[in-house]
Amino acid sequence: MKTFKVRVTRDSEDELIEKVLETMERRGAITFEELNQDKNLQKTTPATDEQVQEIIDEAELIPYYSEKEAKDILNL
């Protein structure tokens, strides 16, 4: 199974793209759900270096992996 992120770049095409995806979902080809329905949601802010280090420490990965590998494993 693959997961894709689709970003509609033109508001004028929004309805058409949504209909295509819904049709594919009805046919059983995909599952489809809209994310970020509320346009007023705040964007996330990146973690500070201190927060990243705390996450890595709590995951207890350093004895087994380098800091870069730990960041990659934790998607930081």
Angle (nearest 5°) at CA 14 between 11 and 15: 130
Tens-digit pLDDT profile for residues 9-41: 888 888 899 999 999 999 999 998 887 665 555
Q: What is the pTM of this model?
A: 0.43
How many C-beta neighbours within 10 Å does residue 27 have?
8
Token pair of 26 as six digits: 């009805």
